Amino acid sequence: MAFTSQTASRLEEQAIELPSWAFGNSGTRFKVFTQPGVPRDPFEKIADAAQVHKHTGLSPTVALHIPWDKVDDYAALREHAEDHGVALGTVNSNTFQDDDYKLGSLAHRDPTIRRKAIDHHLECIDIMDMTGSRDLKIWLADGTNYPGQDDMRGRQDRIAASLEEIYARIGDEQRLVLEYKIFEPAFYHMDIPDWGTSYAQVSALGERAVVCLDTGHHAPSTNIEFIVMQLLRLGKLGSFDFNSRFYADDDLIVGAADPFQLFRIIVEVIRGGGYGEEGDTAFMLDQCHNIEDKIPGQIRSVLNVQEMTARALLIDLPSLDAAQAAGDVLTANGTMMDAFYTDVRPDLATWRQERGLPADPIAAYAASGYQQKIAADRVGGTQAGWGA
Ligand code: AOS
Ligand code: ZN
Ligand code: ZN
């Protein structure tokens, strides 16, 4: 199937949320590399994120992280975002940076620490009310390092009770989104290690509790698109944290290691009704740019997602369906591969030009002088939070 006007208009439905932390300094546990011009406060992170949207038309919202993006005046931050042509998006909580959380947060045995962690989430919901955000995203670092360190069942029950209290404060238009991760920072067990656990927890809460799938949070060789299919089938795929992994939670540019996997994931999102206006699955990036420039790194990322979405939209569905029904394995697989191997980049350049966007967003950003300007203007930019 060729790139048609229908493909073009379906692409208009795409929105990819950017993480505010992608614009700050970041690194690994070994080294945080600083870059000239990184934002000094959340306002500047929003301004940088707005550059990505300006050049691509793909990223109208920015996710916040509390406390990294704590400000005195959220109405002012919201207005600042709107002035820059974007809106504030998901609020990410953080219960992994305090000494208090060494043995867990929502799963902790000590009720005072659990209280502190629950209260942090209630504060995040208060912030969401001010920013107009829909989603509270919870990723828990809770887990243990050694067999016998704690009772896994008790921890699961405490998480359930803590989440219930948080969910009770979620507004009618808001959602609680629970992310899972196979390992790290805990290495013997994580309390929310997989989609099944996240699904069990959010299902016990109610309709407005859903799962976040971070593409870097699985064992090697996991069939992620199968999980996408299943969660959509169950009505619980709330959002993606997109990134790319070679080994573990690499947080690299989405589509870098395996564009074919990204394609297969998006095929299932479209198949399952999660895409665009008909769906409720939020596309977000969860990435850090440790060695490359951050704004062009984000531009490349959203373009990669768009490119694989365009290819996924090209699948000749009637032919695929007929081949599947006939048990014609080779034709069915060939139909998928025909779409995957189609170079849509010229069509996407035209798509952008027709919408008043630059044909080549990375070149346009480089030519804009913005990078030089922030490098000159900003001194003492902040650490994103990772690798501290
Ligand atoms: C951690 O590994 C997770 O991917 C989190 O989604 C995220 O990176 C963190 O919560 C930053 O907000
Ligand atoms: Zn994530
Ligand atoms: Zn992660």
Residue 96 CA, closest ligand 1 atom number: 10
Tell me the residue range of the domain where 162 lies.
Answer: 13-313+344-377
Q: What is the pLDDT of residue 215?
A: 98
Any domain includes 8 = no
Alpha helices in the chain (DSSP H): 5-11, 42-56, 74-83, 111-131, 152-167, 195-205, 224-233, 259-271, 294-313, 317-325, 329-340, 345-354, 361-368, 370-377
Q: How far is CA 283 from CA 31, 96, 158, 216, in A?
A: 29, 24, 30, 14
Residue 53: CB within 6 Å of ligand 1? Answer: no
CA–CA gap between residue 148 and residue 214 (Å, rounded):
28
CA–CA gap between residue 213 and residue 211 (Å, rounded):
6
Residue 214: CB within 6 Å of ligand 1? Answer: yes
Any domain includes 222 = yes
* Ligand with smallest separation from the Cα of 218: 3
Name which residue sits closest to atom 9 of ligand 1, judged by CA.
139
Q: Yes or no: say if 31 and 73 are a contact pair by the CB < 8 Å rule.
A: no
CA–CA gap between residue 225 and residue 258 (Å, rounded):
13
The domain spanning residue 172 has which CATH number?
3.20.20.150
Name which residue sits closest to atom 3 of ligand 1, judged by CA.
139
Name which residue sits closest to atom 1 of ligand 1, judged by CA.
139
CA–CA gap between residue 382 and residue 65 (Å, rounded):
14
Any domain includes 301 = yes
Q: Which of 214, 252, 285 to mutate to test the pocket of ligand 1 (most atoms within 8 A of CB)?
A: 214
Residue 385 CA, closest ligand 1 atom number: 11
> Furthest-apart CA pair in the chain: how many Å?
64
Q: How many domains does the chain have?
A: 1
Residue 249: CB within 6 Å of ligand 1? Answer: yes
Q: Which residues of 197-224 are buried (b: 16+ CB within 10 A; e: fewer)?
A: bbbebbeebeebbbbbbbbbbbeeeeeb
Residue 306: CB within 6 Å of ligand 1? Answer: no
Residue 218: CB within 6 Å of ligand 1? Answer: no
pLDDT band, residue 196 (cuts 50/70/90): very high
Q: How far is CA 240 from CA 164, 306, 362, in A?
A: 23, 14, 24
Any domain includes 323 = no
Amino acid at 86: V
Residues in the chain, how many? 388
Amino acid at 206: G
Q: Which two tokens stand for residue 51?
A: 């550059």
pLDDT band, residue 388 (cuts 50/70/90): very low
Residue 243 CA, closest ligand 1 atom number: 4
Q: Yes or no: say if 294 and 378 are a contact pair by the CB < 8 Å rule.
A: no
Instruction: Tell me whether 0.95 is exceeded by the ipTM.
Output: yes
326 Cβ partners below 8 Å, 6+ apart?
Answer: none
Residue 347: CB within 6 Å of ligand 1? Answer: no
Any domain includes 27 = yes
Which 3 state secondary structure label does DSSP give 90? Answer: strand
- pLDDT tens digit sequence for 212-237: 999 999 999 999 999 999 999 999 99
Residue 208 has pLDDT above 50, yes or no: yes
Name which residue sits closest to atom 6 of ligand 1, judged by CA.
139
337 Cβ partners below 8 Å, 6+ apart?
Answer: none
Q: Which two tokens stand for residue 271?
A: 């198949």
What's the 3-state SS for 42-56?
Answer: HHHHHHHHHHHHHHH
Q: Which two tokens stand for residue 208?
A: 């407005």
Residue 19 CA, closest ligand 1 atom number: 12
How many Cβ atoms are within 10 Å of 119's Cβ, its own excluded? 12
**Share of residues in the chain with pLDDT > 90 (%):** 96
Q: Which residues have beta carbons under 5 A from ligand 2 (an ion)?
A: 214, 241, 286
Any domain includes 192 = yes
CA–CA gap between residue 264 and residue 243 (Å, rounded):
14
Any domain includes 189 = yes
Q: Which of 179, 240, 289 to mutate to test the pocket of ligand 1 (most atoms within 8 A of CB)?
A: 179
Residue 45: CB within 6 Å of ligand 1? Answer: no
- pLDDT tens digit sequence for 46-85: 999 999 999 999 999 999 999 999 999 999 999 999 999 9
What does the DSSP 8-state code read for residue 145?
S
- pLDDT tens digit sequence for 138-176: 999 999 999 999 999 999 999 999 999 999 999 999 999
377 Cβ partners below 8 Å, 6+ apart?
Answer: 37
Q: Which of 92, 120, 139, 252 to mutate to test the pocket of ligand 1 (most atoms within 8 A of CB)?
A: 139
Task: State the distance from the centre of ligand 3 to the C-alpha of 325, rounded, in angstroms.
Answer: 39
Any domain includes 5 = no
